[in-house]
Amino acid sequence: MDHPRKRRRFERVTSTTILAPAKLTRSLRVTGVRNDGLHLIDAEMVTLDLFDELTVTRGGSGVSFIDERNGGVPLDIDPNNNLVTRAATLAGVELGAVVRKRIPAQAGLGGGSADAAAILRWAGFDDVEAAAGIGADVAFCLVGGRARVRGIGEQVEQLDFEDLAFTVVTPQLACPTPVVYAKWDELGGPTSASGNDLEPAALAVVPELAIAKEQLGNATGLTPRLAGSGSSWFVEGAFPEAGTVLRTVPAATE
């Protein structure tokens, strides 16, 4: 019979590195507002080959964030109140995590949602409707690939994968999603010919966004579309001289 002390000597805390891919909202219609103030959408979303990297330790404690885009600078994010810790709570797991951020924040590319979904996948949690309860884009990020997303984000209908390239420009401007939706309400719920109904609201909240849109349009000869609630703009096709070229990737199960 093994002695307990002997067994403990060989116990090791193991860490796992997982990837959290960004998402791009190709089109977004706001179809209504629920009584609780949450907005209903009808959108097409795709997964991109831009990833945050999470080093996760089961049974650990504390979550820290490192900005890989700016030389590995620690980010000032509440370690006890963020989408990673909410995802862990939802999945019923205790963990420690170091999140290396490569997806820009408040850019419409789903960075926080991608991190939360990566934790849910790691924990074996696949309840899409519950995932949407901690963040509207978490449900899609949990499924991944290409999908039609409706409701408040909890209705995810997978679509056939398409190998696509997008040129993306992200100005150093923050577009907080709740503020953009509140402005959309204030403006009377406008639609947009661009294919993203949030574009007029985002431009009203952050008028400087128009500069990046114009620059990307001039460089490509195409009309840019806002990614989600912003601040990123994109056009379809690869124009490396105009911005960052990202490609779609299939869902992990495909």
| Residue numbers annotated as active site | 23, 137
Q: Which residues fall within 8 angstroms of residue 232, CB to CB, at 6 or more apart?
A: 104, 107, 108, 109, 168, 169, 170, 226
Sign of the Cα torsion 51, 175, 234, 69 reads negative
Three-class secondary structure of residue 222 per DSSP: coil
Pairing of strands 63-67, 73-74: antiparallel
Q: Cα dihedral angle (89, 44, 179, 83), rounded to 10 degrees?
A: 10
Give CA–CA dist 109/229, Å, rounded. 9
Tell me the torsion sign for CA atoms 40, 217, 179, 137: positive
- Asked if 149 and 43 touch (Cβ cutoff 8 Å), the reply is yes
